[in-house]
């Protein structure tokens, strides 16, 4: 707690479902994999990603990091134990844990900046174009499209391309 660097969730305020309907926050499963828990895919790069909103992280264990990054929107955790199966989210290996900043739009549709959680701005900065779409009113029938772009201007000025990766709520 004294270190102020650990983004633990507040267990006293836990919810049984951490997915927020219509928003980017929660757990997502790569849509081009039929069963992400299949032994061949489990832990493959980007097979599962998780986005946690800053408000859902404990201020008691994360205070120092939040002081340094007051515009932080949340963190992104990327599965990275095995090589990617299907379409990769970006070139190279998944970083694993990232800081996420919403630059424009909102938590359903917009442009974000992603940097390595441990090294911050001293590493490659990636810009994410994202869009959450609901197919029905079910909290589990929601899709996320993510595309990594080389710069903010490119992310803002272009539509999703063939490089975009789709995720779903259901495993």
Segment 15-27, tens digit of pLDDT: 556 788 889 999 9
Residue 45 belongs to a domain = yes
Tell which wins on pLDDT, 67 or 114.
Answer: 114
Residue 40 belongs to a domain = yes
Residue 4 belongs to a domain = no
Segment 127-148, tens digit of pLDDT: 999 999 977 766 667 899 999 9
Residue 155 belongs to a domain = yes
Task: Provide the residue range defining the domain that includes 58.
Answer: 11-168
Q: Mean of the per-residue pLDDT values for the chain?
A: 85
Residue 99 belongs to a domain = yes
Residue 6 has pLDDT above 80, yes or no: no
Residue 3 belongs to a domain = no
What are 97's two structure tokens? 């844990």
Q: What's the CA gap between 30 and 44, in Å, rounded?
A: 10
Residue 132 belongs to a domain = yes
DSSP states along 100-157: EEEEEE-SSEEEEEEEETTTBTTS--EEEEEEEEESSS-TTSEEEEEEEESSHHHHHH
Segment 81-108, tens digit of pLDDT: 888 988 999 999 998 889 999 999 999 9
| High-pLDDT (> 90) share of the chain, % | 46
Residue 115 belongs to a domain = yes
Q: What's the CA gap between 135 and 145, in Å, rounded?
A: 13
Query: How many domains, the chain?
Result: 1
């Amino acid at each position: 707690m004294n270190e102020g660097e650990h983004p633990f969730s507040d267990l006293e305020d836990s919810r049984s479902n951490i997915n927020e309907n219509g928003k980017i926050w929660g757990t997502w499963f790569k849509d081009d994999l039929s069963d992400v828990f299949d032994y061949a895919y489990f832990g493959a790069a980007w097979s599962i990603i998780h986005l946690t909103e800053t408000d859902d992280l404990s201020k008691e264990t994360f205070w120092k990091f939040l002081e340094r990054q007051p515009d932080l929107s949340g963190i992104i955790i990327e599965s990275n134990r095995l090589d990617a199966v299907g379409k990769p989210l970006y070139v190279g290996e998944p970083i694993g844990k990232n800081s996420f900043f919403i630059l424009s739009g909102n938590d359903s549709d917009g442009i974000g900046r992603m940097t390595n959680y441990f090294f911050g701005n001293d590493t490659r900065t990636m810009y994410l174009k994202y869009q959450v779409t609901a197919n029905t009113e079910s909290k589990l029938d929601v899709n996320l499209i993510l595309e990594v772009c080389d710069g903010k201007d490119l992310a803002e000025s272009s539509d999703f391309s063939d490089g975009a990766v789709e995720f779903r709520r259901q495993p």
